[in-house]
Amino acid sequence: MPADRPGHSDRTRRTMHQGLSLASIRSRICLFFWLCLAALPASAQAAPGMPGMLEADSTPAREIMGLSHFVLLITGSIFAVVGGLLVYVIIRFRAREADAEHEPAQVYGSVQVELAWTVIPVLIVVVLFLTTARIIFAIQDAPEPASALDVTVIGHQFWWEFRYPKLGIVTANELHVPVGTPGKPFPTYLELLSADVDHSFWVPQLGGKTDLIPNHPNKMWIDPEKPGVYLGQCAQFCGVEHAKMLLRVYADTPEQFEAWVKNEQRPGAQDQAVEAGRHVFETQACMNCHTISGTAAKGTFGPDLTHMMSRATIAAGAADNTPENLNAWIKNPNDFKPGALMPVMQLSDEQVNELVAYLSTLH
């Protein structure tokens, strides 16, 4: 059997190694491609109880979504071109056994190539900049119609306060806005304030993120196109319970919104059957932080409780608003939101039961 030529076995091993590397690269590219395809259906629809980041149900959100699709089209095309050229070069110019002793041709500069990879990216950046600027100004400079609803949003650690100055309504964590019609738009203009640290108002189906900065009012507007509940939350880290600073936006029909306004404008219910619970509320520290219209409680540090049972959740969305959860919340708020600023009241079981009975009448 003839002996191997000098260097033949080394070249063979080198060629096999290069072949394995190429196969590995191909397999990784295919795996990445199929993982991206598999993730698309899952990301296209929000999971229950989560904000829908790929859905647009308001004019600002639709403008932002259109911009994101445009940017994705351009960047996706760049990725496809560069990735395609890279795969072509890897396959077309891979090392071959016949070329083991030769070095590829060396190119030491090309004016045409250098101009191309300079001018084309600059043009792409300019187009993206102009398009983004147009969308920003179209949203921020939109004129406020006379029919608009004004709401003041105040971010607290870790809950939302909503004030309707023209309607005399103060509520928390659940924002009610009307849905307009094509012939009668009814947008809602939000003035965003912070009572403590930086927060960020974000309901992705209705608009982009806008920060709430102490001593620096910001504004944004939304106009939901269909009735429903839209979920959002604080998108700026604001402390230990930032992740549970949730909010719900109820887009009501004009009739539903009018009924809600009438209910919210009524004073708090005063049922004699739960007088013991009201006495607990007014003689403990509760009234120092909370307000219930029709009582001596005028606190502003915590949410307004005048119509708290009309809300679906408590603790800024951390739990369903049920007597059982309310009882547990009063006994120890940290069971629901570790780090919550509401203190443990150290009430007896009887006092807690009486207080829950009273609060449960506040519809």
> Is residue 40 pLDDT above 60, yes or no?
no
Average pLDDT over residues 304-316: 93
| Confidence grade of residue 16 (pLDDT, cut at 50, 70, 90) | very low
Helix 111-140 / helix 59-92 crossing angle, nearest 10 deg: 170
| Confidence grade of residue 48 (pLDDT, cut at 50, 70, 90) | low
Amino acid identity of residue 334, one-letter, is N
Number of Cβ within a 10 Å radius of residue 224: 26
| pLDDT above 70: percentage of residues in the chain | 85
Average pLDDT over residues 147-174: 95
Q: What is the pLDDT of residues 181-190, one digit of tens each?
A: 777 778 999 9
> Is residue 21 pLDDT above 70, yes or no?
no
Q: Is the dihedral of CA 117, 122, 123, 128 positive or negative?
A: positive
Residues in Cβ contact with 162 at an 8 Å cutoff, skipping those fewer than 6 apart: 151, 152, 153, 154, 169, 170, 171, 172, 173, 174, 175
Please name each of the domains of the chain with its CATH number.
48-96+110-265 (2.60.40.420), 272-359 (2.60.40.420)
Tokens representing 223 are 């106009």
- With left for phi above 0 and alpha for psi between -120 and 50, is residue 316 left, alpha or beta? left
Closest CA to 132 of 217, 208, 231: 208
Least confident range of 8-22, 39-53, 99-113, 332-346: 8-22
Q: What is the pLDDT of residues 71-111, one digit of tens each?
A: 999 999 999 999 999 999 999 888 777 777 777 777 787 88
DSSP string across 102-119: -PPPP----HHHHHHHHH
Amino acid 33: pLDDT: 54
